[in-house]
Amino acid sequence: MSQNLQSTYQIQWQTVDHLKSFIESMKAEKQSVYIRKIKDLEDELKKLKKSKRYGLVWEDKLEDVVERCRTELPVLIGDETKSINENPNGPTNILIEWDNYHALSVLAYTHEKKVDVIYIDPPYNTGSRDWKYNNDYVDNNDTFRHSKWLCMMNKRLLLAKKLLKETWVLICTIDENEHATLWLLLREIFTDYDIDSIVIVHNPAGVQWKNFSYTHEFAYFVYPSWTKSIGSTIREKDLVSPLRDWGWTSARKLAKTCFYPIIIKDSQIIWVWDVCDIEFHPQSGNIIKSNGEIYIYPIDSHWIERKWVFSRNSVQENLNQLFVKEIDWEYVIMRRKSEFTYRTVWDDKKYYANIYWSKLLSKIISDKFPFPKSLYAVEDCIKAVIHNKENAVILDFFAWSWTTWHAVLELNKEDGWNRQFILCTNNENKIAEEVTYPRIHNVIQGYGDVPGIPANLRYYRTDFIGMEKSIDDLRKKFMGRCTEMLQIRESCFNRLQVENENEYFQVFESKEAILAVLYHPYEIIKLQKLADTTTKPIVAYIFSMGMEIFQEELAHFSNRLRIETIPDEILETYKKIFGF
């Protein structure tokens, strides 16, 4: 071998050895980096374990009802034998019998951002086997009962949040077993909202525990912090008092905008003048002008300058509460107050469920229902937040014996408005069939010597469609299975008889609009004929294997025709919820 060739091989082998050595060193260095990272993570974990944490941690194990939606998708089936039509001018109320997770999933499509108020009375998790998790009753022996309760509530509250309008209120009753836990969960879900806890005394005899006898439960009110959501309550007896403030917080200097003259003439208030300059000090509480007007200032009998209860900016809004009274030869501005801000403790005999409400419920239905909720407690909770909402939509997805429904009907009867309720319940121990529906029916039709409250109702049960690998096959399975969901979404329930109606072309109407459901695009010709025969606005849902919009064929009806395609929008809603 030549010297040059030998030299070349030596260089090559040296280079290979160097590369091997370099690779081994890189492996060692990389391994060292990983070891350091693992150690850093372990140190961080130790710090976290030692540090204090704020919030909730629980085992988020899927329920069977949630797991089922990964292989089957919920739809609705109507039960016409349970439909009630007693109020042609009122809304159609909805009752869904099945697990509320499935019902809320359907409502996520039909009622997204349409609900004004949610009132729920969930299981209190007392440990007395009053609710099931994955087909097993949860009792005191279950070490994960609080974790299971949180998992169940979290899933449903997250779905319910999707249904609420921008200005809304969520009301949730609870007792001491999950009171603190529920607040943390609500705070986690409704991050920037106000949460108030109201005490309702519902059992004056009390439930005896080791140390205390519990006489109350709680009602959480959750609402946007930027709105005035809670109204006022009216008491039987008006509160009459001077408008002039009193006590140690009543000095003029504590509220400069609350010192101004109220002008009266012939014992009537005629005007409210501007806020007085800080250097101005009237010589009397009543200053009489030459034209017969009297300027009244908030000065007490000891000539001390006080302030009015209202600032100058807000007094104009409350003039209807004010009147003039002569006391000891002096004119005094009085305030008559009949509306009051709700207090945080509600204690009234009408809230005592066992004493009053059990007796009333026994008159409506023969079957006994344990732990009935006071109708008046529910009614006052809802009334506090829908006082000014004539057509409010109220949802209860833990309906049990349907007290929420009864309360809404009583409120509609009281003021003649048309609020709608949507209720969801399971049929555990046949509660829907033997308690809830009979109660609804009897309250609408009347019972004993109590006249009925006319209302409308549609009764639905949940059914399921099996998943398919092909999206087209899944679309085909939805053929003919969307009608009930569309009726609910558009509030059109009365079937309209049209020429050549068949299973692929169905038409429903309300007082305001017409719903047409086309399960085959060829039915567009019938839709065109329908549009020629009515002046009502039409919404047409057309079954499609894609996202086609049939605007061209129906262009000349565009001013009163809205076109939607199905089932893709339904599937998109379910994808967001179930993640398939």
Per-residue model confidence (pLDDT) at position 7: 47
Q: Are 127 and 140 in contact (CB under 8 A)?
A: yes
Q: Which amino acid is residue 199, in one-letter code?
A: V
State the DSSP H helix or E strand holding residue 52, giving kind and residue range, or none if neither: none
Residue that is written with structure tokens 């009792």 in the block? 139
Q: Are 307 and 252 in contact (CB under 8 A)?
A: yes
Per-residue model confidence (pLDDT) at position 5: 43
Residue that is written with structure tokens 């019938």 in the block? 526
Q: Return left, alpha or beta for 261; rule: phi > 0 is left, psi -120 to 50 is alpha, else beta.
A: beta
Task: Write b or e for each residue in 236-269: b if 16 or more Cβ atoms lie within 10 A of its Cβ, otherwise e.
Answer: eeeeeebbbbeeeebebeebeebbbbbbbeeeee
Per-residue model confidence (pLDDT) at position 27: 64
What angle in degrees, to the nearest 10, is found between the helix axes of 100-110 and 483-490?
60
Q: Are 257 and 244 in contact (CB under 8 A)?
A: no
Q: Where are the domains of the chain?
A: 64-231+343-463, 234-341, 488-578
How far does Cα 331 stand from its chain's mean position? 49
Total residues belonging to the chain: 580
Task: Write b or e for each residue in 475-511: b if 16 or more Cβ atoms lie within 10 A of its Cβ, otherwise e.
Answer: bebbeebbbbbbbbbbbbbeeeebeeeeebbbbbbbe
What angle in degrees, to the nearest 10, is found between the helix axes of 100-110 and 568-578?
130
- Residues 6 or more apart whose Cβ sits within 8 Å of residue 247: none
Give the DSSP letter string of 336-369: EEEEEEPPSEE--GGG-IIIIIHHHHHHH-SS--
Using CA atoms, how far residue 133 sits from 137, 172, 432, 494, in Å, is: 6, 20, 19, 38
Give the DSSP letter string of 84-144: EE--TTSPEEEEEES-HHHHHHHHHHH-TT-EEEEEE------SEEEEEETTEEEETT-TT
pLDDT, averaged in runs of 10, over the chain (580 residues): 46 51 64 73 71 75 90 96 94 94 97 97 89 88 90 96 95 95 96 95 83 93 92 80 92 95 96 95 93 95 93 91 92 90 92 72 68 85 90 93 87 93 88 85 88 95 94 93 97 87 90 93 86 90 78 69 91 92
Gap between the Cα atoms of 264 and 251, Å rounded: 23
Gyration radius of the chain's alpha carbons:
34
- Residues 6 or more apart whose Cβ sits within 8 Å of residue 87: 454, 455, 456
Which stretches within 287-432 are classed as H helix? 312-315, 358-364, 375-383, 403-415, 431
The third-level CATH classification (topology) of the domain covering 64-231+343-463 is Rossmann fold (3.40.50)
Per-residue model confidence (pLDDT) at position 23: 59
- For the entire predicted model, the pTM comes to 0.81
Q: Specify burial of residue 324 (Cβ count, 10 A radius: 0-12, 13-18, 19+).
A: middle
Per-residue model confidence (pLDDT) at position 8: 42
Q: Would you give the DSSP letter of residue 308? A: B
Using CA atoms, how far residue 424 sits from 119, 137, 396, 485, in Å, is: 12, 20, 6, 15
Strands 164-174 and 115-120, sheet pairing: parallel
Per-residue model confidence (pLDDT) at position 228: 86
- Residues 6 or more apart whose Cβ sits within 8 Å of residue 401: 361, 369, 372, 373, 431, 435, 436, 439
Per-residue model confidence (pLDDT) at position 19: 54
User: Which tokens go with 459?
Assistant: 């009764």
- Residues 6 or more apart whose Cβ sits within 8 Å of residue 431: 369, 400, 401, 425
User: Which tokens go with 95?
Assistant: 């009752």
